[in-house]
Amino acid sequence: MHISDNTLVREGLRELRRRLPTGWIVGEPTLEAISGVDATAGLVAPDQRACTLGLEVRARLDPKGVRPLLDVAARSRWPGPLVVIARYLSESTRARLREGDLGYLDLTGNVRIVVREPGLYIEAQGAAEDPDREERPARSLRGAKAGRLVRVLLDRKEPPGVRELASLTKIDAGYVSRVLTFLDSEALVTRVGHGRMQSVDWPALLRRWAQEAPLESRGVQRTYLEPRGLSSFMARLTKSDERYAVTGSLAAAALAPAAPARFATVWVRDAATAATRLSLRPAESGANVLLLEPNDEGVFEGATQRDGVWYTAPSQCAADLLTSPGRGPAEGEELIRWMQTNEEAWRR
């Protein structure tokens, strides 16, 4: 092992010792490859039962690197628990390690180790962000340009290339390339050859977009009251010449019915103008209509008309629901399940 890897192991085990219950002991590591693992360390319980941890050491590990690591673990001859030690592990990386039943430990205190014999379970939260992160041009999906790119990747059956994406979204090809590199590192898209996209994990991408760009970050929200109820409001929308798109519960109900909607959420260009034309009353409490002014008009892309009312594309609606209050997230997940079984109905 390299000197830096040796240091990483020793510092990682010091972090583990801080997290262990009273009476548990971790010995000094054996810093050489044994049975296909990078290093090992003995673990002793208070009753003197013991096991040996197999340690896989990575200076840096992103979600894309977890699959090869799982393959390495599967090929190893190590019979005991395996733990990945790294300087820092992001939440998405940790989630994939949990799915692969691998323990992990980073130097910021993110720990999850499960040992069946002797029985031990440790899970603790460390840093939510890399404290030594280098500034990178694209490291999240927050912002209007990223949202436009995500929508195209979600809605297209065949993943477009960089130039096509740039043309479809009217975004600089350099920025598109940087975002795709970020998505590839997070295992949200798969690229082959000279960067050509092979596939998109659209459910994971959709959830990640909603997480990093929640509804309140994508526009200005204003609440109103339609005293005659939502049926009257929807009837008025059929006659409106405003550019709008209904999202949220009302849009999802047409595809994946849940409980009856009691609140209308609508993207509009100008909330004050739309409210006046739709005869809505401003209301801070008791509101039943939410008008949203988008930061980017991409929210209207892919909208379809049903019974005279314009609704957002399913991908937009699901993202909006996942960070909406109340039962919105549950309705968003229900809509995603519908989307998974009906891809031909919404992906072009």
Read off the pTM. Answer: 0.71
Torsion 99-101-106-111 (CA) sign: positive
pLDDT by residue, tens only, the chain of 348 residues? 555 678 889 899 999 999 999 999 999 998 877 888 889 999 999 999 999 999 999 888 989 899 888 888 888 878 889 999 999 999 999 999 999 999 999 999 999 999 999 999 999 999 988 887 654 545 789 999 999 999 999 999 999 989 899 989 988 888 999 999 999 999 999 988 766 789 999 999 999 999 999 999 999 999 999 999 999 999 999 999 999 999 999 999 888 877 778 899 999 999 999 999 999 999 988 999 999 999 899 999 999 999 999 999 999 999 999 999 889 999 999 999 999 999 999 998
pLDDT at 273: 93
Distances (CA, A) of 244 to 32, 132, 311, 348: 63, 43, 8, 22
Whether residue 76 contacts residue 54, with contact meaning beta carbons closer than 8 Å, is answered with yes
- Reading the block at residue 205, the tokens are 């991408």
Sequence-separated (6 or more) residues with CB below 8 Å from residue 132: 87, 88
pLDDT at 323: 94
The rounded distance, in Å, linking the Cα atoms of 262 and 319 is 19
Q: What domains can be seen in the chain, in order of their start residue?
A: 3-124 (3.40.1350), 144-212 (1.10.10.10), 215-345 (3.30.460)
pLDDT at 195: 66
